[in-house]
Amino acid sequence: MANPDHLQQLRSGRWAAWRAANPTIAPDLIDADLSGLDLRGLDFAKAHFRGANLANARLDGANLSHAGLEATTLTGASFRDTILDNTHLDFLDLSGLDMSGASLQGTSFRGANLTRTILRRANLTRAGLESAILDSSDLSGANLYGTSLRGARFADTVLRGIRAEHSILEGTELLNLSMEGAIFDNARADNAQLRGSKLSRASFRGASLRGTNLHSAQLSEAVFDDAQCEGASLSYADLERASFLRTNLSQADLRHSSLIGAAFDGCLLAGAQLAELDFRSPSLGRVSFATANLKKAIFTRCELRSADFHEANLEEADFRNANLEGANFRGARISHATFRHATLKQADLSGVQATGTDLSGTNMILVTAAGGTLIGADLRFTDAIGIDLRKADIRWSDLRNADLTKANVTSTRMWGARVRNTKLPANMGHMLAILRFSQIFQGVGSKRQKAREARERKRVQQVAELVRDREAARKRREP
């Protein structure tokens, strides 16, 4: 039961004077019926309200820091600009309350029901919202610095402009929410579910987003600088003008995302899923694409000097007119890719799989392609002075009008290569006759192949005619 004297001081209107005269006393208002009272601006710091009825009470601007509010009834109460620092509101029903601008620093809301609660501009610094229910609540502009949101439920929650630096969101579901301009710098959000959310202009600087799901999220102008996003899903996301400076996106999935105007300078994309993406617009300085899946990706006219593509899948990728000077393609798969008129000066193509690749008109001066497979590659008009082709396989490639002066062709397999008007190393005079003979042999083989194909077409046609004749005869025999 409440202390009668304390209750009398409150009801008589002398509370402020009494508290000033007795600052060390912890008010005892246990089980008191304070419903509907106007308690605005009063000092209830460290007061005991356990079991009290505060329904429809007006507590705007009151000080309830460190107060005991266990098992209280707060239905319809007003807490605008109220100080509730370091209080325990665990498992309470706070649904529909107006707590706009309230100070809730260090307050525990574990398991509390905050459905439709208004928390606009509230200060929730280092608060505990574990397993709280925040469906349809409004936290616009709230301060959630260092706040733990593990297991909290957010459905139709408004989180526009929140400040959630250093917050804990690991595994939290924030699906299809409005979080434009939110700040999650240095937050811990590994494996969080942010699918379909509106996060335009949001900031994730230095945040941990390993395995986080941002599929179909709206992230235009969002900032992920220095963030750890290994294995994150950004597929189908809107990443226009987003910033990923020095971001770790290894093993991340960015397929079908929009990258217009995005910045990836210094970004690590090792092992990332980047198939069919268009990189013509993004900034790509000092990027690592090592082991990434870039099949059919577009890099036309991109500035990729010294970029790292080692062991990446670049099959059917488009590098026309790109600057790839000093780039690392060691062990990469670039079969049927197009590098027409690209600059590959001093690039490393050691061990590449480049069957059928278009390298025509490229600058391949001092390129290292030792051990590479370039069977059937198009190297016409390529400037490949000093290229290293040791133990490379360039059979059936087209070297017409290419310049291979001073090339290293030790143990290079060149049978069937086309070498008309090709400038070959001075020590390859004996090989030239063999190559020309192989071309004659190739021509004969090609004629034989065409003859075989013609015979096969004729055979198929004859079979078709036979089947038609049999079908016609069968129909004539039918009554």
Confidence (pLDDT) at 136: 96
Confidence (pLDDT) at 381: 97
pLDDT by residue (tens digit) across 330-358? 999 999 999 999 999 999 999 999 999 99
Average pLDDT of the residues in 285-289: 91
User: Which pLDDT band, with edges at 50, 70 and 90, does 458 fall under?
Assistant: confident
366: pLDDT strictly greater than 80: yes
327: pLDDT strictly greater than 80: yes
For residue 238, list its beta bridge partners. Answer: 218, 258
36: pLDDT strictly greater than 60: yes
Structure tokens at 130: 């574990």
Confidence (pLDDT) at 77: 97
Average pLDDT of the residues in 241-247: 97
Confidence (pLDDT) at 433: 53
Within 8 A by CB and 6+ apart from 112, the residues are 89, 90, 91, 92, 93, 94, 129, 132, 133
What end-to-end distance do the CA atoms of the chain give, in Å?
106
Structure tokens at 47: 């007061």
Confirm if 335 and 359 have CB atoms less than 8 A apart.
no
Q: Return the CATH fold of 294-450.
A: Pectate Lyase C-like (2.160.20)
For residue 373, list its beta bridge partners. Answer: 353, 393
DSSP 113: B
Q: What percent of the chain has pLDDT over 90?
A: 83
- Lowest model confidence (mean pLDDT) among 165-169, 246-250, 410-414, 427-431: 427-431
Confidence (pLDDT) at 291: 96
What's the CA gap between 174 and 113, in Å, rounded? 17
Average model confidence (pLDDT) for the chain? Answer: 93
With helix as H, strand as E and coil as C, how does 397-436 read? CECCCCECCCCECCCCECCCCECCCCECCHHHHHHHHHHH
Confidence (pLDDT) at 13: 87
Confidence (pLDDT) at 452: 81
Confidence (pLDDT) at 167: 97
Average pLDDT of the residues in 208-232: 98
Confidence (pLDDT) at 386: 93
Confidence (pLDDT) at 107: 97
Within 8 A by CB and 6+ apart from 120, the residues are 100, 101, 138, 139, 140, 141, 142
User: Which pLDDT band, with edges at 50, 70 and 90, does 104 fall under?
Assistant: very high
Confidence (pLDDT) at 446: 62
Average pLDDT of the residues in 203-213: 98
Confidence (pLDDT) at 432: 56
432-446 burial, b at 16+ Cβ within 10 Å, e below that, comes to eeebeebbeebeeee
User: Which pLDDT band, with edges at 50, 70 and 90, does 441 fall under?
Assistant: low
At CA 279, angle to CA 273 and CA 283, rounded to 5? 110
212: pLDDT strictly greater than 90: yes
User: Which pLDDT band, with edges at 50, 70 and 90, does 465 fall under?
Assistant: confident
- Return the SS3 of 261: coil
Instruction: Report how far apart, in Å, the C-alpha atoms of 250 and of each of 273, 308, 364, 373, 472 are.
Output: 9, 13, 29, 27, 64
What's the CA gap between 151 and 94, in Å, rounded? 18
| Closest to 181 in 3D by CA, of 212, 165, 155, 159 | 159
Confidence (pLDDT) at 87: 97
439: pLDDT strictly greater than 60: no
Structure tokens at 87: 């209080």
Confidence (pLDDT) at 438: 53
- Return the SS3 of 170: coil
Per domain, the residue ranges of the chain are: 294-450
Confidence (pLDDT) at 460: 72
Confidence (pLDDT) at 75: 96
User: Which pLDDT band, with edges at 50, 70 and 90, does 466 fall under?
Assistant: confident
Number of neighbouring beta carbons within 10 Å of residue 465? 10
Instruction: Report how far apart, in Å, the C-alpha atoms of 68 and of each of 93, 196, 200, 298 are.
Output: 15, 40, 40, 62
384: pLDDT strictly greater than 70: yes
Confirm if 42 and 65 have CB atoms less than 8 A apart.
no
Confidence (pLDDT) at 312: 97
Confidence (pLDDT) at 468: 83
Average pLDDT of the residues in 399-426: 92
442: pLDDT strictly greater than 70: no
Confidence (pLDDT) at 443: 54
